[in-house]
Amino acid sequence: MAKTPRKWTGARSPSGLKRVRQTERRRAVLQPRRTAAKTLTSKALMIATTAPEGADPQVALAEAISALDRAAKVGAIHPNAAARRKSRLTRKVNAAIGGEALAAARVTKTTGKAAAAKAAKARIAASKATKAKGAQTAAGKARAALAKTTRAEGPAGEATVEAAPATATKATATKTTATKTTATKTTATKTTATKTTSKKAAGASAAKAAPAEKTAAKTTAGKTTTKAATPAATAETAKTTRSRTKKADEGAPEA
């Protein structure tokens, strides 16, 4: 264990030592820009306030603004910080040259809580009224203009507005009647076509049934004739057989 304390408490790794060297080089470049910007800003404000002989506040202000721009360009300060400082310096210099008192950094509110709440309610009501009228859209603007024109015209405008819906109603009723008539005609046409088709189908069925009946009648007659002729043929066959047997018996020699 070491008895003496360590003197070096910084970085020890190679990358840490390199970062230290980079920071030193960067500081050597950027710190003069920061210092110059601060010095010229305070100088311009001092010249504008005290107005010494042989010093021009406008020239001092331009030099301070240029210094702030250079510092922001090389990265010594942030661009937003440079813009903020330029704005504040310009307002202070203009106020000092014009003989006006410098405004406070923060404006104190003079409105009470009750007044502020009332103003907020009024703003909300106004916004709701605007949205209800629909002035933010083209259709809302058209409706507002029509309503305004109607109010300006008076009774004549109201009569015109009433006549327009009546005309629209009549036109709608006419279209509805025409539609119903067309539907009725279509239904009648479909019914007639159905009846014609039914008649044709009935005729075709009757035509098919007539040949079938004729064929059945012919078949029945043939069967009846066959049945009727069968007993007679049987009797004749029996007679022929008997006669042949007799002839054979007569012609055979006696033993």
Give the tens place of pLDDT for each residue, 150-209. Answer: 877 765 545 554 555 555 555 555 565 556 656 565 555 565 555 555 566 556 655 555
Sequence-distant (≥ 6) Cβ neighbours of residue 160 within 8 angstroms: 153
- The closest of 58, 50, 43, 67 to 90, measured between CA atoms, is 58
Length of the chain: 255
- 248, with CB counted inside 10 A (0-12, 13-18, 19+), is exposed
Tell me which amino acid residue 7 is.
K
For each of the domains in the chain, give its residue range(s) and CATH number, in order of start: 17-97 (1.20.58.110)
What pTM was estimated for this model as a whole?
Answer: 0.38
pLDDT at 107 over 50: no
CA distances from 178 to 116, 166, 183 (A): 65, 18, 9
pLDDT of 222 above 50: no
Tens of pLDDT, residue by residue over 41-89, are 999 999 999 888 888 999 999 999 999 999 999 999 999 999 999 999 9
- pLDDT value, residue 206: 57
- Rg (Cα) of the chain, in Å, rounded? 62
Query: Where is pLDDT greater, at 253 or 79?
Result: 79
